[in-house]
Structure 1
Amino acid sequence: MAGIEPARERAGSSSMPMNVVENNVVLFGVPKKGRIFEDVMKILKGAGLDFKRPERLDVAMCKELSIKIVFLPAADIPTYVMDGSVDIGISGSDMLEETLIEAGRSEDSPIQVIMKLGIGKCKLCLQAPVETCKDGAKAFAGKRIVTSFPALSRRFFETFQEKDGPKTRIKVVSGSVEAACGLGLADAVIDLVETGTTMKAAGLDIVAEVFETEALFFQQKPTEQNGLMPGSTKADLITLVEQRIRGYMTATSFVMVVCNCHDANLQEVCAICPGKKSPTVTELKEPGWHSVSALVSIKSHNMVMDKLAKAGATDILCLALSNTRM
């Protein structure tokens, strides 16, 4: 197995605010900062989880729901959910997998993923100086690797480790991982790559992909002990939050296109915008005319509107959605 230095301490005693637990109040762990913070705040606002965060405090009570938002380091959230200190959380799948591996629970996870959020997408990659990338990932087994993800790195290199070969030396740093090669601390690094700008500026390139990540919404698996079994107050609240987030995500992915058309064009118009299930068709007061409305992907709505106009539709409108329930 690949050798490894002691992993960084997770979920330290100072990261969890004191005295936040209340009966029948769902504790929702969210990142207090970092690359997905702003997107997570947009999702909470879009889902109607209104709260006011007091200055210098990491806990905020929702105004209309018995849900308490707890701001935590993203890397700690999976641990708190796994241990039952918070009921639900949002963090990256890389953070979740790292935590489960460290806890020896990757095959028997105590965490249940509710949904992927489609934000924070990037890749955890093995990176090395450009001139050495051609050697492939196996060439770096037994060498010095710097990373913020020791468990995922160890699992990756176990595949290449030779029985009697030198152990891969994995050193843990919490930031500026990409600088390790230039400073002579590492032969390669394992770090997140989003745009690749920082990687290229450090004179590095991708050798191999280690893990693909995105933000997840998850909870501790329901048990009688944690009060999350179906039908419980907390379970009902979590289901409500899930519905609201799904509704908001649908609203950010679709628009409502509405148009008028004559009988002669109705079949073609419905074919152009079939909607998620089917378009809504309503007869207008003027004989032979109909109003057609349907959900259309936000990525293609301009093209759809062009096609509708070409097919003879009139009064074509594109309406933004704030939330949905599907």
Structure 2
Amino acid sequence: MLRIAVQSKGRLYDETMALLEEAGIILNKSKRVLLLAAADFPVEVLFLRDDDIPQSVANGVADVGIVGENEYIEKGQEAKLIKRLGFSKCRLSLAIPKDSSYEGLSWFEGKTIATSYPNILKNYLKVNQVNASLHVISGSVEIAPGIGLADAIFDIVSSGSTLVSNQLKEVAIVMKSEALLIANQGLSDEKKAILDELLFRFAAIETAVGKKYVLLNAPENKLDEITELLPGMKSPTVTPLATKGWVSIQSVIDEKHFWEIIGKLKSIGAEGILAIPIEKMIL
């Protein structure tokens, strides 16, 4: 059994649970308990505070964990980075009152900065040779300047709306963050095998993102032109139709190029074009 530590609430929780479900790990989420076992895969999920996950994985309370990069770097625990997951993206930034004039990091010299990430901030200030005081707050960092606790803040920024609502402006991005899969350094061979299967499923989901499975009919004499537009994973699948001189072509294309390619296919003579979303794709 592989134990996965997961954030107990918030955006990272929602996106993590969606990923696990997509990977075939079904949990009874109606039961709000600390530990839940999957129905048909040797995995159990341990729900924790996000800042407890790195230590829990490092000391073996959990075998692996899905955690924000910000927490992983801040805690500095001896847990191994296994995979970047590409969701729950945000950034850690310095922000100051919106009416303040800002011309560079020297603004922070002698100032007090409120933050929940003192280790990351201390390192950043040291590298940039800025002397500032830190006021460590566990939550609601953005209100600190407004109530006189600090001159500025260092906190997570996603859309920036929270900064705007608190009369702040972002002036420096210190690091970017996303969800990470981390693991204990001493996993047994049995647990490594389960982790490998989990990674295989994650990869199949990731590969399918932004892809469309396309089926179309086309004149056989246009086949070369069409296959140049539809390379697929190796090459398109081509099947003769009952109508002489026509073929059915199947391939995979990137979502970002979908309309451009479809327009070209139509101009060449393709008909009956069908585009289907792909849930998983195994290479």
TM-score (norm 1): 0.81
Give per-residue Cα distances to partners, 1:57-110, cap 9 Å, x unaligned.
12111111111111111221111112222111111111111111xx5xxxxxx3
Structure 2: unaligned runs, 5 residues or longer? none
Deviations 1:151-185 (A, max 9, x none): 111111112336xxxx5211111222111111111
Q: Is 2:230 aligned against 1:270? A: no
Specify the code of the residue in structure 1 equivalent to 2:66: I
Contact residue 92 and residue 216 of structure 1 kept, 8 A: yes
- The change in CA–CA distance for 1:304 and 1:67 in structure 2 (over 3 A counts) is same
1:20-39 matches, cutoff 5 A:
25-39=1-15
Secondary structure, in 3 states, of the residue corresponding to 1:57? coil
- Code of the residue aligned with 1:145 in structure 2: it is I
3-state SS, counterpart of residue 40 of structure 1: helix
- CA, structure 1 residues 141+278, in 2 after alignment: closer, same or farther (shift >3 Å)? farther
| Aligned with residue 246 of structure 1, among 178, 194, 203 | 203
Residue aligned with 1:131, SS? coil
**Alpha-carbon distance, 1:280 to partner:** 2.3
Alignment match, 1:130: 98
Q: Distance in 2 between matches of 1:133 and 1:85?
A: 48
Amino acid at match of 1:151: N
The structure richer in helix per residue is 2
User: What residue is the counterpart of 1:81 in the other structure?
Assistant: 57
> What is the CA distance between 1:212 and its match in structure 2?
0.4
Identity of paired residues, percent?
Answer: 31
CA distance in 2, matches of 1:233, 1:139: 53
Distance in 1, matches of 2:21 and 2:207, equals 14
Asked if residue 141 in structure 1 is aligned to residue 112 in structure 2, the reply is: no
State the partner residue of 2:153: 189
What is the distance in 2 between the residues matched to 1:271 and 1:52?
47
TM-score, normalised relative to structure 2: 0.93
Cα shift at 1:241: 0.5
Looking at structure 1, the residues matched to 50 and 216 of structure 2 have their Cα atoms a distance apart, in angstroms, of: 45
Say if 1:141 and 1:161, in contact at 8 Å, map to a contact too: no
Q: Shift in Å at residue 284 of structure 1?
A: 2.9
1:1-326 correspondence to structure 2 within 5 Å: 25-53=1-29, 55-100=31-76, 103=77, 110-161=78-129, 167-221=131-185, 223=186, 226-227=187-188, 232-326=189-283
1:203 partner amino acid? Q
Q: Mark the runs of 5 or more structure 1 residues left unpaired by the alignment.
A: 1-24, 104-109
Q: Aligned partners of 1:220 and 1:302: how far apart in 2?
A: 45
Aligned pair count reads 283
Q: CA deviation at 1:133?
A: 4.9
Structure 1 position 321, deviation (Å): 1.9
